[in-house]
Structure 1
Amino acid sequence: MSDSTARAHSPGTSRSTSATIPPNILRSLAGVVADGYGVDLQPELTGVGLHEAVMSSAALRVSYRQGSAVIRRAVELTGDAHLGLRVGAAQHLTAWGLLGFALMAAATLRDAIETGVRFQNLSGAMVGWRAGAQDAGYVLRAELPDPALDPAVGVFLAEEAFGSVVTLTRLSSGAEFAPQSVEFTFPAPRDTRPFTELFRCPVRFAADENRLVFPAAWARRPMPGRDPVTYAAVLELLEGQMVSRRDQQDLLEVLEISIAQSLPNVPSFVEQARRHASSERTLRRRLAECGTTYEAVVDGVRRERVEQLLRRPELTMRDIARQAGFSDVRALRRAVHRWHGVAPLQLRAREERLDG
């Protein structure tokens, strides 16, 4: 089998602190856990810098690190092992903005799938999508952004990914849709009924990859809302958004690398503007267009560095504070508590258990 459409920019190739992902999953997640479990996720969102006013902004972008932290806490707070399925089933096309309209206006379901894969970086996807034809039908694959991802977050993302695909296909193409088969890489849960109830097809666990097979007849099926003129017009707008997004991601990655290479000293904002031949006002505006600030970028890089250093048992808290650019151990403790809700030693112990 050869993939007819590949990822435009793999999430695995970008630094996990870059805030470049539309927060569609987090918004849907917050609504599901509030309505279904009475859990308010805003404290968790605020804890990673996503304050209530910020979450309502259409320009907001989040990082994989922010998204993973909120997802991990949501699974813990609800105790729902199938939370990803429920969030996927709550998705709707209009939450994807222009991309949602492009999918509805595509000629066939296969065209819609390939359009979604082509512009996946605008959809808020937190997995990497690949699609292609094979003898059994049309296959959609979902790849996790990081092999070392927290297992609970990985399960959530895989469930949400295929849950949303099936839900959106039924909304746009026909409520009777069912995949030919669905496969997940994680082990089978004790109760598999939520999977068979949602997908209405054979579901396999502990597979080599996460994949969903569309029956060939469904892949060829015309979309009810197909409109070639609208489709072409929306694609032109999406291409413009992709160029803008690449520029934003490039800026964030360059800043993050600059900060990471300078630690424990953090370059001032004035110095960063000078390095990038930009005025402070222009650099501040460009970061605002990315939905972030220089302080938030610095915080993300420091967080990543601290988490790396905590995995080295020979380092003391004083060593870690100094190498990550904190004034003292107390400042380190405050930052780790803000990021994770625990003390540095507790976080180190938790990481050791996960590594073991």
Structure 2
Amino acid sequence: MPDSHDAPTQPGTSRSTSATIAPNILRCLRPVTDAYGVDLRPELNRVGLDEAMMRSAALRVSYRQGSAVIRRALELTGDAHLGLRVGAAQHLTSWGLLGFAQMAAATLREAIETGVRFQNLSGAMVVWSAGPEETGYVLRAELPDPALDPPVAVFLAEEAFASVVALTRLSSGQEFAPRGVEFAFPSPRDTAPFTELFRCPVRFGAVSNCLVFPTSWAGRPMPGRDPVTYTAVVEILEEQAASTRDRQDLLEVLEISIAQGLPEVPSFVEQARRHALSERTLRRRLVECGTTYEAVVDGVRRERVEQLLRRPELTLRDIARQAGFSDVRALRRAVHRWHGVTPARLRADAADR
């Protein structure tokens, strides 16, 4: 799916912001915002995601696309705890084959560890880790981008743990309650929605986002456990994960090459030569990644512009030149296409944040 709205957070980091994330959160977001009378279709269309694309199982979106849609949903609903509601509304089939593997796992712990292992296939927008600690079996969710907008960061942390609790109750018992939940963001004014959902002590302003499973629950058998089915589905997931890693590696290498070359942009022909590929092969591999070379270039330029706008000593002419635009008018057109505002407005908003 060609996408001219992507941009890398930091070229070369572990999570590329090109089209690599399954849009599961966005699919789960739609019914919740519909209940508020909010139509997210215009925002989805603005970032290049129409109805047909959203129904495709093969669709991958960028981290930036996902963040933009979430940010707009928060603005339109006015619900500061939208993440809790979206997470609580999920079910394991929302996660596709990964959810099926978790349903067939032997124990709740194996289901969790399978989710962590294949998190890049699930559409996760946080980085999951899990393991036994002194307090119990601990599941952690970290944000891959420290510069993420605070409201979006809160949404993702809330959605992450609300979905874990909702899915555990659906699969293992409605009486489930974590031993404790900690969030890295400051305490909201109203903490009642958290205690009502999690039914356990909830701490805010913690060092990291973590949820503690009681040890007895971590070892509880899954009701749909089936070792043959589990092994068969995991084999398919491993093949998909290997293919995904190859796509991400290609995109990250291209992003680094483009970022290092700015303000000059290597031509498509030059990129194919650098990577010892024919133009046809490189174009095909980018199509498999759901993007185009032009979209990757546009994303790197977007990230560079957003970084440069944070430097008040630079004029728009300086920024246009350093980001590889022909003039300030081209810069203004690009910023309006990305954000719907002028560069001056975007700079002011960044300063306010």
Q: Give me the TM-score of the superposition, normalised by structure 1.
A: 0.92
In the other structure, the counterpart of 1:28 is 28
The answer on whether the counterparts of 1:12 and 1:145 sit within 8 Å (CA) in structure 2 is no
Q: 1:151 to 1:289 in 2, by over 3 A?
A: same
Offset at residue 51 of structure 1 (A):
3.3
Offset at residue 122 of structure 1 (A):
1.0
Offset at residue 15 of structure 1 (A):
5.4
| Residues 233-244 of structure 1: pairs in structure 2 closer than 5 A | 233-244=232-243
1:40 alignment partner, SS class: coil
The answer on whether the counterparts of 1:105 and 1:226 sit within 8 Å (CA) in structure 2 is yes
Offset at residue 352 of structure 1 (A):
1.2
Offset at residue 115 of structure 1 (A):
1.0
1:13 alignment partner, SS class: coil
Q: Which moved more, 1:168-177 or 1:276-285?
A: 276-285
Q: Deviations over 1:221-280 (max 9, x none)?
A: 000000011111111111111110110000100111111122222222233223222223
In the other structure, the counterpart of 2:6 is none
The answer on whether the counterparts of 2:140 and 2:209 sit within 8 Å (CA) in structure 1 is yes
The answer on whether the counterparts of 1:59 and 1:290 sit within 8 Å (CA) in structure 2 is no
Q: 1:288 to 1:143 in 2, by over 3 A?
A: same
**Alpha-carbon distance in structure 2 between the residues aligned to 1:23 and 1:122:** 10
In the other structure, the counterpart of 1:13 is 13
The answer on whether the counterparts of 2:104 and 2:224 sit within 8 Å (CA) in structure 1 is yes
AA aligned to 2:177 is A
The answer on whether the counterparts of 1:60 and 1:290 sit within 8 Å (CA) in structure 2 is no
In the other structure, the counterpart of 2:335 is 336
2:44 alignment partner, SS class: helix
The answer on whether the counterparts of 1:21 and 1:122 sit within 8 Å (CA) in structure 2 is yes
- Confirm whether residue 284 of structure 1 aligns to residue 260 of structure 2: no
- Confirm whether residue 217 of structure 1 aligns to residue 216 of structure 2: yes
The answer on whether the counterparts of 1:18 and 1:64 sit within 8 Å (CA) in structure 2 is yes
In the other structure, the counterpart of 1:5 is none
Offset at residue 47 of structure 1 (A):
2.4
Aligned residues: 343
Offset at residue 12 of structure 1 (A):
9.6
Q: Which moved more, 1:244-253 or 1:18-27?
A: 18-27
2:132 alignment partner, SS class: strand
In the other structure, the counterpart of 1:94 is 93
AA aligned to 1:22 is A
**Alpha-carbon distance in structure 2 between the residues aligned to 1:222 and 1:125:** 25
In the other structure, the counterpart of 2:301 is 302
Q: 1:194 to 1:221 in 2, by over 3 A?
A: same
Q: Which moved more, 1:92-101 or 1:16-25?
A: 16-25
| Residues 104-253 of structure 1: pairs in structure 2 closer than 5 A | 104-253=103-252
In the other structure, the counterpart of 1:40 is 39
The answer on whether the counterparts of 2:185 and 2:206 sit within 8 Å (CA) in structure 1 is yes
2:234 alignment partner, SS class: helix
Q: Deviations over 1:21-72 (max 9, x none)?
A: 1111112112321x22222222222322333332222222122222112211
1:131 alignment partner, SS class: strand
Q: Deviations over 1:152-180 (max 9, x none)?
A: 11100100000111111112212221111
List 4+ stretches of structure 1 deviating above 3 A. Answer: none
Q: Which moved more, 1:182-191 or 1:260-269?
A: 260-269
**Alpha-carbon distance in structure 2 between the residues aligned to 1:249 and 1:273:** 17
**Alpha-carbon distance in structure 2 between the residues aligned to 1:30 and 1:327:** 39
1:141 alignment partner, SS class: strand
Q: 1:149 to 1:105 in 2, by over 3 A?
A: same
**Alpha-carbon distance in structure 1 between the residues aligned to 2:43 and 2:215:** 42
In the other structure, the counterpart of 2:8 is none
Task: Name the % identity.
Answer: 83
AA aligned to 2:165 is V
AA aligned to 2:69 is V
2:139 alignment partner, SS class: strand
Q: 1:130 to 1:99 in 2, by over 3 A?
A: same
Q: 1:12 to 1:198 in 2, by over 3 A?
A: farther
Q: Give me the TM-score of the superposition, normalised by structure 2.
A: 0.93
**Alpha-carbon distance in structure 1 between the residues aligned to 2:285 and 2:74:** 34
Q: Deviations over 1:285-339 (max 9, x none)?
A: 2112111122211111110010011011111111111211222212211211121
1:129 alignment partner, SS class: strand
Q: 1:32 to 1:91 in 2, by over 3 A?
A: same
**Alpha-carbon distance in structure 2 between the residues aligned to 1:288 and 1:166:** 37
Q: Deviations over 1:88-137 (max 9, x none)?
A: 11222112111111101111101111111111111111111111112332
- Confirm whether residue 352 of structure 1 aligns to residue 328 of structure 2: no
**Alpha-carbon distance in structure 2 between the residues aligned to 1:12 and 1:62:** 18
**Alpha-carbon distance in structure 2 between the residues aligned to 1:43 and 1:272:** 35
**Alpha-carbon distance in structure 2 between the residues aligned to 1:348 and 1:17:** 22
Gaps in structure 2 of 5+ consecutive residues: 1-10
Offset at residue 80 of structure 1 (A):
0.6
In the other structure, the counterpart of 2:254 is 255
**Alpha-carbon distance in structure 2 between the residues aligned to 1:12 and 1:80:** 35
The answer on whether the counterparts of 2:15 and 2:144 sit within 8 Å (CA) in structure 1 is no
